[in-house]
Structure 1
Amino acid sequence: MNNYNFSTLNDKEFEQICKDLLNAKFGLELQDFKVGKDKGIDLRYSSIKNNNSIVVQAKHYIGSKYAQLKHTLKEKEYSKIKSLKPDRYIVTTSLSLTAIEKDELKEILEPYVKTSNDIIGQESLNEYLSENKNIETKYFKLWFSSINVFRTILNNAIESRTKYLLEKIQRNFPYYVVTKKLDAANKILIKEKLLLITGQPGIGKTTLAELIILDKAKDNWKIHKVENISEAEDVISPDDEEKQLFYFDDFLGANYVEIINAHKTETQLTSFVERIKHTPNKYLILTTRTIVLNQAIEKYEKISHSKLGNEKFEIKLTDYTNYEKALILYNHLFFKKVKEDFFDKVLEEKFYFEIIRHRNYTPRIIEFITDKSKINSFSKEQYKQYVLNNLNNPKEIWRYSFNNQIDYMDRCLLITIFSFQHGCIEKHLIKSFESRLEYEKEIHNQVVNSNQFNESIKILLEGFISSQITDIEKDIRYFTFINPSLNDFFIGHISESYQERKSLISSFIYIEQLKKFNPVLSILPLEKELQLIIRDKISNKQIEFIEEEKPCLNNRKCVLILEVLCKYCKETNIDKVLLEYIKLIDIENGVAGLVSKFDYVLSNIGDSPMTHEFVKTNFIQIIESMMSSIVDTEVAMDIPTLFEIYNNNYAEYIESEDGFNNIIDVISRVLDHIEDSLKDEKQESAYDYNVVDEIYDELHSIENNLKTILFPDAEVLHDFEINPDSGFWDEKITENIGRSKYEEYQEEAYYEDHYREEKYVHENEENAINELFTKQT
């Protein structure tokens, strides 16, 4: 038997489950009463002789003690009971009660409570639930108030990051509202194995994903929260019987830089989607903002042509019914235990209608206006104005808290966290924040506390940031923003403030902190003065690499720094420092894994005569070292252009035996790489030779384009041996057909048992909302 404490249900939901259980247990037909007008009645049964034959009071106390229940019944309820004169009075409560406590309450409520069995506590309710499984499954949120259920859920968290996610979901679960979107999303996930949740910022994409994750973890699916596709590839199980769910939140937003700058990421993403689609018991949930997805589909051919461009995998979160909006608001007010004065203000003149009908309503704004760390200092009238300000100016929801509720140094730490792409571990944050503190002391004459980092962290953990332990043994702590909208706020805030940009650029120490200034993305302006600061920091060896803890060889560091100079410092004279770092590259060791970046550098040195002369003098050695690692079509096609930039004769080069063979090797290597990638991407979806023909038609087209660009004036008769391996493809097609039949059977079996949430049907939505917000007496 699952032991539920009912903490995930609000007071109205608790009353409903009590009605269902008592009706089932005692064969009654209990009636609901308008909340607040009950005069001591939540539920009642009417007989011919007595309209109040059986009266039920449902007392839902989360985190309270028996003494409160006893006081309420004795001092507030008993006088109401006397006026009602019921034949039988029943108390239900979510509190756990001992036999002695039940007897004591029976004595207080005599003669209306006939037996201690009519004082129904948590244990009895759980017993009734075990006898009525249909009621137990009806209340989706009930399941997650059981310690046993949640222990099962945590056991299915594979990494500490996922365990942290599930613990966070458990804390937030009472605020969630189950809508019809949950069933729709579940159907898509089970049928298609891929679920893409899209919508505007703050609409509830992450919440819907988290509801599904919790549901699947309860059913013993292994959960993996991943930050990139490489992580997912590393942990996907070869066991086809093991159910795995991969969750990639904001998969385009957080990784937009990588997708823009790396064709590999695009291919890797679409390839993994194909793998999930055609591997038994493996599932993928992705969330992203609608606008970002549309941009990606428009810009990147592989994403456009992949499963991600197909609407049958997508659930669009657009809006909620007014009742759903009301329930989201009510749950936040109820479970966050917002001050009674503020709750009264929401009830006053039915202000809740103004909130839920506002054109800018989103669950994120509701989360914000019920956050006690942000509102507790307000008066009743200030609170109402604060709510309206946030609804009228949703982009400004963080500005008041940032400017008025934390100190200057706390703000500096937040901006330091913002400078990292996905948050950062503690030791990197400490080091980068110390650099910012030194800058503040020197430039702004700020007085800095010796324990400033810890003091600021303590303040910010109450409403701006979250932390998690990513490695318990090594005690590695990771810090991120508590809400993605903070990132949006800082983009706007820093974009509007040159001084903030200058402070950030002047104090950064890790090259990874520059990504949001990437000119390609145009997220943050980067004026010439700021470009000079970056150049001088590089020249003075004041930049470090977070990835130094991983294998980060000299050539990699040099190429990354050269890329920053060419991309971030275009308006400055970078010739001297550019030459210094290009000379540091060990050409004989090559630039494997960095070819695209090195190609960008060689194509964009700008007005740098000394660097140009050095590359020109050593061009053949440099280009041949680069060519030995080329696997990308676009980089291969750049080769003739690089010859032209550095005044080398490409026609003469390819006429030489070595030059000819080197270019043939480049074409062969590119075609082999693309063939391998296409096989990985398409093999699981091949049910006949049509897919195989498409792959090799594409390869032959790429081959012809490469030969046309790289041998412009010659007919190349070399056979690159691009032909399908019929043995491989025959085996794969047979395997895919067999697996498809098995999955169809599995899908049908799953749907037979799949949970469907029952929705209460309200004939009049406005009355239902009023009833929801009528205060208990």
Structure 2
Amino acid sequence: MNTSSFISVLDEDPYFRNLSSNKTKYIDVRRYLKPNKKKPIMNNYNFTELLSPLRFEQISRDLLRTQYGIFENFAEGKDNGIDFRYSESKNNMLIVQCKRYKNFNNLISVLKNENDKIKKMKFSTYLLVISLDLTVANKDKIVEVFKNKVNPNNILTTSDLNYLLSLPINHHIEFKYPELWMKSINVHQKIFHLGILNHSRFIGEELLFSLVNFVPIEQYDQVINHLESNNIVIISGNPGIGKTTLSHAVISHYLYFNKYQLIGLSYRKIQEAESLLYNEDPCIFYIDDFLGHIKLDKKNDYAQLLLFLIKKIEKSTNKKLIITSREYILRQAHKDLFPINEISNTITKHIIELSSFTRRIRTEILYNYINNSRLPIKYINNLLNSDYKKIIDHKNYNPRIIEKLTDENILRNIQIEDNSYYSYFIENLNNPLRVWQDVYDNFPNKLYKLIIIIRFLIEGELPVKNLEKAVNSIIENSQEYQSFSYDDFEYTIRSLEGTLFSFKDGVDELTEEKYTLIEFQNPSIIDFIDNFIWKKTYWLNLIIKNAIYFEQLFNFELIEIIKVDPTLSKSFRDKILKDFHRLTNANIGYFEYDTQETTFNCWTQGRYLYFLIELLEVTNIEEDEDVAFFLKSEIFRYPFDGTEDISEKQSFCEIATILIERGHINEKDAIMHYTSGFINDVKELVCFEYMTRKCNKESLDIIRNNKEFVEDADNLFLCEINELSTKNFIDLMDFYDDYEQITHILPLKKTTKKLKKLETNSIWKEAWEKLGKNVEENNLTRKVVDNINYFDIEDKSIDSLFKSINKKMIHAAFYDKKQGF
């Protein structure tokens, strides 16, 4: 192979594409391994522990290809002594054999068999790559085994591979094998101590845990490449497909190699990122399971906040944003939340979708989970002696299912015969929720069930002490639970730690008070509860009647069930009328309005009037005078002081409009109350305009004569004009829609004057013409990766890989005794 053809081969490989021309030359590997050569600083990776046999062979190939180019590859198993080879001609053949062994004596035994194979081969060079460090005596023994057919200089060891990785030309290979640096102690220290900010520390702990079994997939490189070009990526996929694990791997890459800092954001706290956008330090923002864990909230109003964040980060030079979202939630969001506008298009162009895995990836995921598990030795033997390829090829194969079926903490609570583990595995793949059903059915008492159901209904970050209060409310008021004491709660949640629950530290960003937060250990637990709870009227009615938190009642799915169930509807209605002012927030991060009349205790985003909208949907105010009177009282007690979220203004207008139409309130009173407060956004004027559509002239005159209100509105539109871009079709269209709506009720003199002046501007004139013709189209493509489940790995290769698990038997036996299986 000549130099030019070698360069062309490198150009075809994306990992070599960015190498400068002075590096695309023949590299003499052995020249770099000479003792007198000054060695760069390098890692000391233990390839035997960190890489599977498949991955060890792959990294050996990649390190050697910088010298020789593209190799022929062969499947594992009966390879006739060849893992891969390179040939310039029939008389110039290089053969490479990779051996991943921890013990030299075992290695020698295997190499004696290899000697018989190479006697039949014709080659010019035989290269042996070994995952061990060898002494001179060790190398001499290997040469003796091969009867001098192998040159000692052609035996590469762990030290040689680590050295090759340290060379600048091979740095991209280290990136390509994240399981190397993700699992090293140095990397863990860097991630845990350098890259985590404030309340994001718990994400660092989860991140380190999830990387243990990570298998690099095609989308790993695609996500990093997309981030490098666009700063933003949205990883979409079905539950359990590996979105969070993939995002953790990418985050680790940036924390370790690029020295980024991690900032974890819940979708309820997107606005917290604003102050950090202008920080000079490189930051990577992370939102996991955007738009909710299970059900989409149709009244979610965070789309604009997300759009703001995306726009800022897109233009940044040292900020990145990673979002994960369930595929069906994101699809529903496009339908219900995000109409065909800039939000939809902006989100769409950043999506990379996880759909399915190749057989090779499935194999390595299963291998990693078993190889790194603390399963009893008898369970592992039963699996290895069965047809485990049925697991790999199962139609319901899912990384999350594999994770929970190899989790010793879960299996400890289930009675499984030693010779039935494989059968249990297959049965759970056939019915993926069965494992949690077994745990649920084996609870010692009903307090266990009550606790997990209450925790399920309260979404968000929940302090343990608030969960305890919610449970104690039922213990105190329900005859069925009065046999339990307060101490029983503590014992129960601790007994579920590691199986169903996990605990982490949290901080209220407003009060700086520290909490211990309780979360479900695995998202599949949430899937399991979601699968049955909405049919359990008894449980739902019990929780509604004894609720002490807003979140227990105003759950989107619960409201949908309440609407169609008369028993639940009555309980909900009675609870709101009786105890609405006693309800508080279970989640951390809320504020209080203190007035002479009442205290409004709401989420940070403002959800007081939003809750009352749900009461309107559940009840019939035409027949229920008590509900109508309650709503009338509440909307006029709410203070508009400029700190409320726009959704509160929208909720006020919705409730007021309905009450006006039913004759329960006077439209003048509603207008006076709304216009007496602060107006912070043009959209607040738009929702107000909706309320005034059926107002008479006298009421509209009240608005127009409020000079301060009109002045504020005019100034808001002027600010909008100054921020508009003539190149942004969507913004222009939205602006004119808003302007035309508001000029119907308010005389926006300064805004109108400004627009007439701009009519003489050629750039604006051209933009308006485009707007009128509606000619601009958004041809934004969605980046979808569809990994078809083709059979890219043979059965014999899978068998060879799983045979290496035998080395874990002693390790598993140790845990067998220690953990009490």
Assess same fold via TM > 0.5: yes
Query: How far has the Cα of 1:424 moved from its partner?
Result: 0.5
Matched, 1:267 2:267: no
Separation in structure 2 between the aligned mates of residue 392 and residue 129 of structure 1, nearest angstrom:
43
**Shift of residue 721 of structure 1?**
4.1
| Contact 1:243 1:282 (C-alpha < 8 Å) held by counterparts | yes
Q: Which runs of structure 2 are paired with 1:295-314 in the superposition (5 Å)?
A: 295-301=332-338, 304-306=341-343, 308=345, 311-314=348-351
Q: Partner letter of residue 350 of structure 1?
A: D
Cα shift at 1:323? 0.9
Q: What letter matches 2:474 in structure 1?
A: R
Query: What's the % identity of the aligned pairs?
Result: 22
Equivalent of residue 579 in structure 1, options 629, 639, 648? 629
Cα deviation for residue 446 of structure 1 reads: 5.5
> Pick from 655, 661, 669: which aligns with 1:601?
655
Contact 1:198 1:290 in 2 (8 A): yes
1:342 to 369, 375, 379: 379
Match in the other structure for 2:668: 620
Is contact 1:36-1:776 (8 Å) kept?
Answer: no
Distance 1:548 1:159, change over 3 A: closer
Deviation at 1:509, TM superposition (A): 0.7
Instruction: Select the residue among 217, 224, 233 that pairs with 2:273.
Output: 233
Shift of 1:329: 0.9
Find the counterpart in structure 1 of residue 475 from structure 2: 437
What is the Cα deviation at residue 302 of structure 1?
5.7
Report the equivalent of 1:651.
697
Structure 2 equivalent of residue 327 of structure 1: 364
1:498 corresponds to 2:537: yes
1:614-647 Cα offsets, whole Å, 9 max, x none, are x33xx5334211134465254223333575xxxx
- Name the residue aligned to 2:811: none
Give the Cα–Cα distance (whole angstroms) in 1 for the partners of residues 458 and 489 of structure 2: 17
Is 1:774 aligned to 2:820, yes or no? no
2:506 to 470, 474, 483: 470
Q: Secondary structure at the match of 2:506?
A: strand
How far did 1:164 drift? 1.7
SS of 2:698's partner is helix
Amino acid in structure 2 at the alignment position of 1:171:
F
Q: Deviation digits for residues 464-512 of structure 1, max 9, x if unmatched?
A: 1222112499542112222233323222211121112112212321112
Answering whether residue 379 of structure 2 is matched by residue 361 of structure 1, we say no
User: CA–CA distance in 2 between the matches of 1:136 and 1:175?
Assistant: 18
2:569 aligned residue (525, 531, 550): 531
Q: Residues 562, 724 of structure 1: CA spacing in aligned structure 2 closer, same or farther, 3 A cutoff?
A: same
Q: What does residue 554 of structure 2 align with?
A: 515
Q: Distance in 2 between matches of 1:112 and 1:331?
A: 33
* AA aligned opposite 1:399: Q
Distance 1:261 1:6 in 2: 51
C-alpha displacement of 1:386: 2.6
Greater alpha carbon shift after TM alignment, 212-221 vs 339-348: 339-348
Q: How does 1:137-536 map to 2 (within 5 A)?
A: 139-218=177-256, 219-228=258-267, 230-239=270-279, 242-254=281-293, 260-261=298-299, 263=301, 265-301=302-338, 304-306=341-343, 308=345, 311-352=348-389, 354-376=390-412, 377-404=415-442, 407-439=445-477, 442-445=478-481, 447-471=483-507, 475-517=514-556, 522=560, 527-536=565-574
Q: What displacement does 1:375 show?
A: 2.7
Distance 2:507 2:711 in 1: 44
How far off is 1:217 after superposition? Answer: 0.8
The one-letter code sitting in structure 2 at the alignment partner of 1:402 is Y
Aligned-CA RMSD value: 5.0
**What is the aligned residue count?**
685
Q: Structure 2 CA distance, aligned partners of 1:78 and 1:151?
A: 36
Structure 2 distance, partners of 1:587, 1:79, is: 85
DSSP-derived class of the 2:286 partner: strand
**Which is worse superposed, 570-579 or 218-227?**
570-579
State the 1:454 CA deviation: 2.2
1:676-695 alignment runs, 5 A limit:
676=719, 686=725, 689-691=726-728, 695=731
Q: Distance in 1 between matches of 2:274 and 2:208?
A: 27
Secondary structure of residue in 1 paired with 2:593: coil
State whether residues 714 and 748 of structure 2, in contact with CA within 8 Å, keep that contact through their aligned partners in structure 1.
no
**Counterpart residue type for residue 751 of structure 2:** F
Deviations 1:252-281 (A, max 9, x none): 2349766x3255x22222122112112222
Q: Which range moved further: 555-564 or 182-191?
A: 555-564
- Residues 125-173 of structure 1: CA distance to partner in whole angstroms, max 9, x if unpaired? 8678657983655533111233322322234434344222122221221
- C-alpha spacing 1:467/1:13, structure 2 compared with 1 (3 Å): farther
- Conserved 8 A contact 2:668-2:699: no
Indicate the SS of the match to 2:555.
helix
How far off is 1:551 after superposition? 3.1
Q: Distance in 2 between matches of 1:380 and 1:578?
A: 64
* Residue pair 2:562, 2:618 contacting (<8 A) in 1 also: no
- Of the structure 1 ranges 377-386 and 487-496, higher mean CA displacement relative to structure 2 is found in 377-386
SS in 2 for 1:602: helix
Task: Write the letter of the residue equivalent to 1:400.
Answer: D
Residue 446 to residue 211, structure 1, CA distance change in 2 (3 Å): same
Deviations 1:556-608 (A, max 9, x none): 45746644533444589764365357446665954652322222332445999
Contact 1:206-1:249 at 8 Å conserved across structures: yes
SS of structure 2 residue aligned to 1:462: coil
Distance between the aligned counterparts of 1:413 and 1:606, measured in 2?
43
Q: Are the structure 2 counterparts of residues 56 and 231 from structure 1 closer, same or farther at C-alpha, using a change threshold of 3 Å?
A: same
Query: What per-residue deviation string (whole Å, max 9, x for no partner) do you get for residues 656-679 of structure 1?
Result: xx44324x8767655655665787
Cα distance change of structure 1 residues 562 and 269 upon mapping to structure 2, 3 Å threshold? same
Residue 737 of structure 2 corresponds to which residue in structure 1? 701
State the shift of 1:436 in Å: 3.1
- The alpha carbon displacement at 1:537 in A equals 3.2
Segments of structure 2 that go 5 or more residues without pairing to the other structure are: 1-41, 86-95, 117-127, 147-154, 602-607, 765-789, 807-821
CA shift, 1:103, in A, is 13
Residue aligning to 2:615 = 565
Cα distance change on mapping 1:105 and 1:595 into 2, 3 Å: same
Secondary structure of 1:638's partner? helix
Tell me the CA shift for residue 325 of structure 1: 0.8
CA contact (8 A) 2:503 2:519 kept: yes
In the alignment, the residues of structure 2 paired with residue 566 and residue 527 of structure 1 have an alpha-carbon distance, to the nearest angstrom, of 15
**Residue 661 (structure 1) aligns with:** 705
2:796 is aligned with what amino acid?
A: N
Post-superposition offset of 1:768: 2.6
Q: Distance in 2 between matches of 1:407 and 1:120?
A: 60
Is the 1:495–1:525 Cα contact (8 Å) retained in structure 2? no
Q: Where do 5+ consecutive residues of structure 1 fail to align?
A: 46-53, 61-68, 114-118, 644-649, 734-760
CA contact (8 A) 2:76 2:796 kept: no
Distance in 1 (alpha carbons) for counterparts of 2:717 and 2:436: 46
Residue-by-residue CA offset, 1:726-758 (whole Å, 9 max, x unaligned): 99xx9xx9xxxxxxxxxxxxxxxxxxxxxxxxx
Distance 1:288 1:531, change over 3 A: same
Query: What SS class does the counterpart of residue 201 from structure 1 fall into?
Result: coil
Q: Which amino acid aligns with 1:532?
A: K
Counterpart contact for 1:467–1:480, Cα < 8 Å: yes
Aligned residues of 2:686 and 2:738 also touching (Cα < 8 A): no
Cα separation, partners in 2 of 1:338 and 1:570, compared to 1, 3 Å: farther
**8 Å contact from structure 2 (residues 192, 201) kept in 1:** yes
**Helix, strand or coil for the counterpart of 1:720?**
helix
CA shift in 2, pair 1:607/1:492, >3 Å: farther
Residue 57 of structure 1 and its aligned partner are, at CA, apart by 7.0
- Which residue in 1 is equivalent to 2:817? none
Structure 1 SS opposite 2:321? strand
Whole-Å separation in 2 of the counterparts to 1:304 and 1:503 = 43
